[in-house]
Structure 1
Amino acid sequence: MTPSSRIALVLGANGGAGGETAAALVRRGWTVRALVRDLSKATRPDFEYIQGDVMDRAAVVAAAKGASIIVHAVNPPGYRGWKKLVLPMIDNSIAAARASGARILLPGTIYNYDPAAHALIDETTPQRAFTRKGKIRVEMEARLEAAAASGVRSLILRAGDYFGPRSTTNSWFASGMVTPGKPVKTILYPGDKGVGHAWAYLPDVGETFARLADREAELPAFARFHFGGVWDADGTAVVGAIARAAGLKRPNVFRLPWGLVPIVGLFNETFRELTEMRPFWREPVRLDNRRLVGFLGEEPRTPLDVAVRETMRGLAVPVAEVGVAPRLQQAA
């Protein structure tokens, strides 16, 4: 790959995974084009913004001209419209990659799997999704793998639940555990006691994508890696980090009232989709990152307390001075 070809088209540059990946690519000398519907949100002077909609195939194909990679990090907000929007969007990226010769980079999720069947997931684990969102995710990856057979290269980096300074309302961290713009008074945790959960700090995910992009030529046509991220072995590590960052000595920690979610879901599509996520908080699902570490030599990893503090700052959640070490006392 020559320096002149280091152009990345980023779909979802105003989001979490897309924004952090774009920032990491710029740090590593890439030129980033960001396709956005609203140019009033073009806030980064180091990005080249192009107005357009990911649902418009012609716009995506035109934006990808001359690009070496296409970061497909766009999702419908609040889990709404997945059935109608997600697959057409990935098809448009495949068409753009076919026309430009670029490789598609896709942030993957754990929703492709049955959490009761596999506690540790590697790249060869069979994908047997049981949720609507998971089945769509499986189909997305199947379309990428099929396209690779006809010359459209792709890379999937699978990670746990995202959190970071650019977290969106699609994230559990920003939509439940803390409230953007408000002090932490209580912490609402979705998981069962003692059940492990996988988290992924977005700047680390973005940096990993950028390092993989730098070595794109070494990858097979269809590549898949798993990102280990933060493994919270019993559901207390992230809660404790939030409490320390907020300076809470005795935080009130409440479990999400899952029994009420289906009721609200009768009137709200976001909550209807969230209902299906319950098993991922009742069973431990950990990602095996040995293939990634073997290829890169290491996985970028920010210390948990630093990551949580930076996430809260990015969400305008007040943080305490460094050095506060509260004692955790969970509510029943």
Structure 2
Amino acid sequence: MNRRVLILGMGGLFGSAAARSFRAAGWDVDRYRRGTDMAIAARGARWIVNAMNPPNYHDWANQIPQITKQVLTASRDSGASVMVPGNVYVYGREPSPWSASTPHHACTRKGNIRAEMEARYRAHAEEGRSVVILRGGDFINAEAPDTLLNRVMLKDLRKGKITALGKPDAQRVYADLEDMTRVAVQLAETEDHSPGLLDLGFPGTRFSVRELAEEFSRQMGRDISIKKFPWTALLLASPAWELARELREMRYLFDMSHEIDGTDFHARFPEFTPKTLQRVVFEHLYIRGLKVVPDQGNTMSSQTIL
């Protein structure tokens, strides 16, 4: 059976992790090079994994529809199925737990762009194509410096501080990229046999900044304090700084406890165990070369098993 996948955005967080997981599972992985003919690149592929975003957060309103159009055209021409890593921006302030039946009531510019994008994939699936939206929370990966966890929240960990972008006790859902892309591979093995849309929530690992600080304190054997993110300075940042604009738009999510409904996910993967908070913390300490107090790792779970 064809085991070739074309990955768009392989240089990004999800794309690079997906490439590793597909290769580890024995798939032939092709990298799409931005600016080339996507329809030609997709010939012979069983799946197109679209993890491509505009460079440097630039011009989402114009570039996302263009990328989506290219993906749909390439899928029609090649017959390849489509997989997209989804996020929670489309739900806005709808009460969680969020699932495939939760209305899309985006409350930000970026959320509306993503909702419109997903509507086009839904219409594509209604044409008899196989489309998977694998939806998760904020990406985390100990080896990826560009995650929000590494780039902002743990920036001052060596100084004994963790940065909270919102309420320290707000419990938020995070998607460990090693876990999530293993799931993506499992779905790629079977989901193109049944045309239509699969909107599957990945429940991931849920924790608050306070719980994160307490676990770092436990494993490091020292007090870890919580400091507030300097939103005031960010609000004064130049409108031309697009990362600042992106963070400002998503600020509401850092104050809002939320979770992804795992009912459908666990029905498909009943033996799946996500990485625990203990495991997540240990991996982030290990990659930084920071010492863990002896025996503190005994309560950690083993690697995720599907």
Aligned: 1:135 with 2:116:
no
State the match for 2:198 in structure 1.
223
Q: Which moved more, 1:71-80 or 1:124-133?
A: 71-80
Aligned: 1:281 with 2:254:
yes
Aligned: 1:162 with 2:159:
no
User: How many corresponding residue pairs?
Assistant: 296
State the match for 2:40 in structure 1.
62
Distance in 1 of aligned mates of 2:168 and 2:292: 29
Distance in 2 of aligned mates of 1:195 and 1:219: 38
How much identity, in percent, do the aligned residues show?
27
Instruction: Give the Å deviation of 1:9.
Output: 0.6
Amino acid at match of 2:29: V
Describe how 1:123-272 pairs up with structure 2 within 5 A.
123-167=100-144, 169=146, 171-179=147-155, 183=158, 185-232=160-207, 234-244=208-218, 247=220, 249-272=222-245
SS in 1 for 2:209: coil
Instruction: Give the Å deviation of 1:200.
Output: 1.0
Of 260, 264, 268, the residue aligned with 1:295 is 268
Of 92, 107, 114, the residue aligned with 1:114 is 92
Amino acid at match of 2:155: T
The answer to whether the 8 A contact 2:8-2:48 is kept is yes
SS in 1 for 2:121: helix
State the match for 1:76 in structure 2.
54
Amino acid at match of 2:102: T
Distance in 2 of aligned mates of 1:145 and 1:179: 39
Distance in 2 of aligned mates of 1:123 and 1:214: 21
The answer to whether the 8 A contact 2:171-2:257 is kept is yes
Change (3 A) 1:81 1:166: farther
TM-score in terms of structure 1 length: 0.82
SS in 2 for 1:240: helix
The answer to whether the 8 A contact 1:10-1:18 is kept is yes
Aligned: 1:24 with 2:2:
no
Instruction: Give the Å deviation of 1:322.
Output: 5.3
Q: Which moved more, 1:145-154 or 1:258-267?
A: 258-267
Distance in 1 of aligned mates of 2:20 and 2:204: 19
The answer to whether the 8 A contact 1:190-1:255 is kept is yes
Q: Which moved more, 1:5-14 or 1:74-83?
A: 74-83
Distance in 2 of aligned mates of 1:178 and 1:7: 37
The answer to whether the 8 A contact 1:191-1:282 is kept is yes
The answer to whether the 8 A contact 2:8-2:50 is kept is yes
Distance in 2 of aligned mates of 1:176 and 1:248: 22
Change (3 A) 1:183 1:176: same
State the match for 1:48 in structure 2.
none
Instruction: Give the Å deviation of 1:194.
Output: 2.0
C-alpha RMSD of the superposition: 2.2
Instruction: Give the Å deviation of 1:237.
Output: 2.6
Distance in 1 of aligned mates of 2:285 and 2:114: 29
Distance in 2 of aligned mates of 1:215 and 1:71: 15
| Structure 1, unpaired ranges of 5+ | 36-51, 326-332
State the match for 1:45 in structure 2.
none
| Structure 2, unpaired ranges of 5+ | 297-306
State the match for 2:304 in structure 1.
none
Distance in 1 of aligned mates of 2:28 and 2:238: 42
